[in-house]
Structures are given as C-alpha cells and as structure tokens.
C-alpha cells in the first residue's frame, strides 16, 4: 500500500462522509472560530481594495465626490472615528483602523517661467520619466523645459568642476 497526493486531504481532514468530529480541519477552522481569533488578537482584515469599493471610491474634499457621495463619505468617516474610539475603549489597538478615504489633492502650479524652471530643476525632473510626467505636465511648456535642461546641465558641470577642484586640492595637500 502506498500513499499519494490524493490521500493528503483525507489524512488532514478525514474521509468524505465522516462526521465533523472525525474531520479536524473542518471542525476547527470554521468562519465563526476564525472571526473569534481575529477579535482576540485585534486583527481587522482590510486592504486598499476596501477603499476602492463603490461606496467609498470617491475622494473627500472640494471637487471630489458628488453631493450624495460627500454625505456618505462624511458619515463613513464619522462612524469610522466612533469605531476607532470604541476599539480603543475595549483595550485594543486603535491604529488598526488606519484606512481613510482619499482626499482631493490640488497641485499648485508655479507662477511665471522662472518659478516653473526652478520647480523642474529642484525636482531634477528633466531626465526622470516619472518625475517629468508628474511635474512637466503641470508646469512646463517647451521653452521652460529647454531652459530648465540648460540650467541642469550647467549645474551638473559646476558640480563636476567643484569635485575636480576638491580632488586636485586634496592631492596637492598630500604632496
């Protein structure tokens, strides 16, 4: 007699038709038991997908959700705060309730060419696709991009020259 992969389920959880007492896995791992264990250790299973649900997919704040959605989000947030307070009063970790519906973020677009160039230079966005996409779409036209690129090249050359001067100075001091 040999045992194969098909027998593994029977070894772990008994044979089909056995009573619940002879099926240890099914007897222990019931939905009620699992929820009880989660409650005992203050575990709340939640992912970002919960915030993407149709009930909470809108953003809070001006320009986010329509009026009906704004009311629902306000109620959700207030109920969530009450729930967090209750969890804390029960002696559990209130920080498990750290998922909040997203807020509307408004990007501040720099005024004037010089400010736009400086934003691109400060963000070092010229040669980085993600940063260029994020910053460039908000602040730049082609003239601003060209000027920012020239300024970045100049700064890089100056940094390189400073590094060479420091290296030369260090080697002169050693001699």
The yes-or-no verdict on residue 152 having pLDDT over 60 is: yes
Q: Residues 5-24: what's their mean pLDDT?
A: 82
* Local confidence band at 165 (pLDDT 50, 70, 90 cut-offs): very high
Q: How many CB atoms lie within 10 A of CB 172?
A: 8
* Local confidence band at 39 (pLDDT 50, 70, 90 cut-offs): confident
pLDDT at 59: 72
Nearest to 118 by CA among 153, 138, 144, 156: 144
Comparing 11-20, 60-69, 114-123, 128-137, the range with the smallest average pLDDT is 128-137
* Local confidence band at 159 (pLDDT 50, 70, 90 cut-offs): very high
- 3-state class (DSSP) for residue 1: coil
Between CA 128 and CA 39 the distance in angstroms is 46
Predicted TM-score (pTM) of this structure: 0.34
Angle (CA) 30-85-47 rounded to 5° is 50
Looking at the chain, the whole-number percentage of residues with pLDDT higher than 90 is 6
Total length of the chain = 175
The yes-or-no verdict on residue 30 having pLDDT over 80 is: yes
Nearest to 44 by CA among 116, 106, 99: 99
């Amino acid at each position: 007699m040999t045992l194969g992969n098909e027998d593994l389920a029977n070894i772990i959880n008994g044979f089909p038709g056995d009573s619940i007492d002879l099926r240890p896995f099914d007897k222990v791992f019931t939905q009620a038991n699992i929820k009880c264990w989660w409650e005992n250790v203050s575990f709340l299973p939640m992912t970002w997908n919960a915030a993407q649900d149709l009930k909470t997919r809108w953003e809070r704040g001006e320009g986010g959700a329509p009026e009906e959605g704004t009311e629902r989000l306000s109620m959700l947030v207030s109920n969530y705060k009450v729930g967090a307070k209750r969890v804390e009063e029960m002696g559990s970790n209130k920080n498990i309730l750290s998922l909040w519906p997203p807020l509307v973020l408004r990007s501040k677009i720099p005024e004037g060419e010089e400010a736009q160039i400086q934003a691109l230079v400060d963000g070092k966005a010229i040669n980085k696709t993600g940063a260029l996409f994020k910053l460039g779409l908000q602040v730049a036209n082609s003239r601003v991009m060209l000027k920012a690129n020239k300024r970045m090249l100049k700064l890089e050359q100056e940094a390189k020259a400073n590094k060479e001067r420091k290296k030369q100075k260090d080697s002169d001091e050693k001699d």
